[in-house]
Amino acid sequence: MVGMVQEAVVAQEAQQQTTPEAQPSVQEPQVPLPTGEYVATGRRKTAVARVRMRPGSGNVTINGRPLEDYFPSRYHQIAVTKPLDLVGRRQLFDLVIRVDGGGLTGQAEACTLGVARALKLYDPSLYSVLREAGFLTRDARKKERKKYGLHGARRGTQFSKR
């Protein structure tokens, strides 16, 4: 009986010694440190956003103004930083964005696309996450042009019986 217990203890010690070598250690995926500057362009309707993503502390500057000043609406503020929040890199980067054309919503969504494209340049492994969330898809909808003979793009003249 004592011999069986000794054999079991010896076998257990041998297993403990070989276990770390036999099983590869599971590590959290390393977040690559940002180096340099990542530049990307986002568009929506007639708005064009040029995004520069630099290593920093999470500051967002749009046309030389802080995010909260340029986009007073919380909806637009969230739209600009949503790709960074999705991948958990908000505090790693400062964003410097130049945006022209369009209205506030078009500009905010153009910034969203630009930030997502810059993140893809920073770490190509984020592509699938950003693609599934729909941040890398350019929204191609634009205002339809007015046609001659009509009052608008599709609105015709009112029918007159006489």
Ordered structural domains, the chain, with CATH: 38-133 (3.30.230.10)
Whole-model pTM? 0.77
Tokens 């180096």 sit on residue: 35
Give the model's pLDDT for residue 36: 85
Residues 6+ apart with CB under 8 A from 76: 104, 105, 107, 108
**Digits of tens for pLDDT over the chain (162 positions)?**
555 555 655 555 655 555 444 444 455 556 667 678 999 999 999 999 999 999 999 999 999 999 999 999 999 999 999 999 999 999 999 999 999 999 999 999 999 999 999 999 999 999 999 999 999 999 999 999 999 999 999 999 999 998
